[in-house]
């Protein structure tokens, strides 16, 4: 096991009815900004539950945060917070709303000239105003981590930052809030969580059996519970287990002391920035091809994955690995995700542009061995068509 440092102070309130905890978790004297997206929280009961729990608090709202949240949108919220002297932000929504809120609370306190530098130049975040979240879309794990991804369409950029200053003070996870999600978002959430786990697990053995088994435990649970949620959207336990899977998949636990391979995310980000694919749609396409392309260096873990997650114990090494990759792809398809770029009208003519973007963003040495060069990414993308 490699050395590691672990710190995660996010308080989680999990379960039906937990939104009422807002009344005590947010300081009484705080002036609150509620940040949210396109208004789906008003179509279900979430918005009303939040407002009810905030009785006695002063609050205003900022809506319109889009999927793959946009820098310009975030900066409008920053201006509003400064103008209205907001003390606390409450993000209500999925990973995009929470990621945007992380950047907003950091940018409000940023003392440099241009908050864009936090994303583009890795400028250090030294403080942020406090915030909490009400999660309505289990997928990204953003509700229990300190990372954020922000897009700037004018530049074709999708960039990440992280800082211990942007952990949520609390996150409320009520599985009932996910009953009314569109199927596409349920699919995306399951795929996103699954791929997050794979990127922290499917590398090479590091003598870290707990981390391996926790990762396998999340994968097995997603495989069991995903179909139940699609079949019966009001299956509380399936929704609860998927929600907890998504949080545990990226809250900084299973990656401790082990190598990681975020190549799928890095390549996927370009596809989202350039062609508007949903984040998880890109992951379902790229991941199977990356583990196929790197099957030699990932052999030991691929065999372990084949056996422990898919119960594949017959055949030679190549046959087992083929079967495991095929099972992975079939799972994504069964969850409703396409696994080919051609399914989204992205054909080989687009490859040079994608490769250029990877180069421009310095994605020249990806993977756990930093051995996925631009030429490798090009080959992987060809396999994705």
> Could you tell me which stretch among 10-18, 28-36, 62-70, 272-280 binds a copy of itself (CB under 8 A)?
10-18
Residue ranges in 288-307 that form contacts with a copy of itself under rule CB under 8 A: none
SS3 of residue 288 by DSSP: helix
H or E stretch covering 108: helix 95-109
Which lies closer to a copy of itself via its Cβ, residue 27 or residue 182? 27
- How many residues are recorded in the chain? 385
Q: Which of 59, 70, 203, 216 binds a copy of itself (CB under 8 A)?
A: 216
SS3 of residue 169 by DSSP: coil
Residue ranges in 134-173 that form contacts with a copy of itself under rule CB under 8 A: none
Nearest distance from residue 9's CB to a copy of itself, in Å? Answer: 4
Nearest distance from residue 236's CB to a copy of itself, in Å? Answer: 8
> Could you tell me which stretch among 16-24, 81-89, 96-104, 323-331 binds a copy of itself (CB under 8 A)?
16-24
Alpha helices in 335-384 (DSSP H): 351-360, 374-384
Instruction: Give long-range contacts, CB 8 A cutoff, 24+ apart: 351-355.
Output: 351/378, 351/381, 351/382, 351/385, 353/274, 354/267, 354/270, 354/271, 354/274, 354/381, 355/381
Nearest distance from residue 229's CB to a copy of itself, in Å? Answer: 13
First to last CA, the chain: 37
Q: Which of 60, 79, 210, 365 binds a copy of itself (CB under 8 A)?
A: 210
Which lies closer to a copy of itself via its Cβ, residue 21 or residue 260? 21
Using the structure block, give the residue that is written with the tokens 């596809």. Answer: 271
Both tokens of residue 108? 């409000």
Does 6 bind a copy of itself (CB under 8 A)? Our answer is yes
Nearest distance from residue 98's CB to a copy of itself, in Å? Answer: 17
Nearest distance from residue 183's CB to a copy of itself, in Å? Answer: 22
Q: Which of 5, 55, 313, 316 binds a copy of itself (CB under 8 A)?
A: 5
Q: Identify whether the C-beta of residue 31 lies closer than 8 Å to the C-beta of residue 87.
A: yes
Nearest distance from residue 60's CB to a copy of itself, in Å? Answer: 28
Which lies closer to a copy of itself via its Cβ, residue 212 or residue 368? 212
Pairing of the two strands 58-62 and 88-93: unpaired
Nearest distance from residue 162's CB to a copy of itself, in Å? Answer: 16
Does 315 bind a copy of itself (CB under 8 A)? Our answer is no
- How many residues sit close enough to a copy of itself to count as binding (CB under 8 A)? 42
Nearest distance from residue 13's CB to a copy of itself, in Å? Answer: 5
- Which residues, at least 6 apart from 322, have a Cβ–Cβ distance to it below 8 Å? none
The rounded distance, in Å, linking the Cα atoms of 338 and 74 is 31
Does 15 bind a copy of itself (CB under 8 A)? Our answer is yes
Nearest distance from residue 155's CB to a copy of itself, in Å? Answer: 36
- Measure CA 202 to chain center: 17
Question: Whose CA is closest to 266, among 362, 369, 384, 144?
Answer: 362
Question: Whose CA is closest to 49, among 57, 41, 37?
Answer: 41
Residue ranges in 217-276 that form contacts with a copy of itself under rule CB under 8 A: 217-218, 220-221, 224-225, 237, 240-241, 244-245, 248, 253, 256-257
Does 18 bind a copy of itself (CB under 8 A)? Our answer is yes
Does 131 bind a copy of itself (CB under 8 A)? Our answer is no
The rounded distance, in Å, linking the Cα atoms of 49 and 175 is 14
- Which residues, at least 6 apart from 362, have a Cβ–Cβ distance to it below 8 Å? none
Question: Whose CA is closest to 78, among 44, 42, 102?
Answer: 102
Nearest distance from residue 194's CB to a copy of itself, in Å? Answer: 13
Under the rule (CB under 8 A), what is the footprint of a copy of itself?
1-18, 21, 207-210, 212-214, 216-218, 220-221, 224-225, 237, 240-241, 244-245, 248, 253, 256-257
């Amino acid at each position: 096991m490699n050395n590691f440092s672990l710190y995660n102070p996010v308080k989680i309130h999990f379960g039906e009815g937990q939104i009422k905890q807002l009344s005590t978790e947010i300081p009484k004297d705080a002036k609150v900004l509620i940040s949210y997206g396109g208004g789906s929280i008003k179509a279900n009961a979430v918005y009303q539950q939040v407002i009810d729990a905030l009785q006695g608090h002063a609050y205003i709202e900022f809506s319109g945060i889009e999927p793959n949240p946009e820098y310009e949108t975030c900066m409008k919220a920053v201006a509003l917070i400064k103008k209205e002297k907001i003390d606390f932000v409450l993000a209500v929504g999925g990973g995009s709303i929470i990621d945007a809120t992380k950047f907003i609370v950091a940018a409000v306190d940023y003392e440099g000239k241009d908050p864009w530098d936090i994303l583009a130049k890795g400028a250090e975040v030294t403080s942020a105003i406090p915030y909490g979240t009400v999660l309505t879309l289990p997928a990204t794990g953003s509700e229990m981590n300190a990372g954020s991804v922000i897009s700037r369409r004018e530049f074709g950029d999708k960039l990440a930052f992280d800082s211990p200053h942007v952990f949520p003070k609390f996150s409320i996870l009520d599985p009932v809030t996910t009953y009314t999600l569109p199927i596409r978002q349920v699919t995306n959430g399951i795929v996103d969580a699954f791929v997050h786990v794979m990127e922290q697990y499917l590398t090479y053995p590091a003598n870290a059996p707990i981390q391996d088994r926790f990762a396998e435990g999340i994968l097995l649970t997603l495989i069991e519970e995903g179909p139940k949620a699609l079949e019966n959207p009001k299956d509380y336990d399936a929704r609860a287990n998927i929600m907890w899977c998504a949080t545990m998949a990226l809250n900084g636990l299973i990656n401790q002391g082990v190598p990681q391979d975020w190549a799928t995310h890095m390549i996927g980000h370009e596809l989202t920035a350039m062609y508007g694919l949903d984040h998880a749609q890109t992951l379902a396409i790229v991941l199977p091809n990356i583990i196929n392309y790197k099957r030699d260096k990932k052999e030991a873990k691929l065999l372990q994955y084949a056996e422990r997650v898919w119960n594949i114990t017959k055949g030679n090494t190549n046959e087992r690995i083929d079967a495991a990759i095929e099972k992975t792809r079939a799972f994504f398809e069964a969850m409703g995700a396409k696994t080919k770029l051609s399914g989204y009208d992205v054909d080989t003519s687009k490859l040079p542009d994608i490769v250029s973007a990877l180069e421009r963003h310095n994605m020249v040495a990806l993977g756990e061995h930093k051995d996925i060069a631009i030429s490798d990414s090009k080959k992987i993308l060809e396999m994705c068509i």
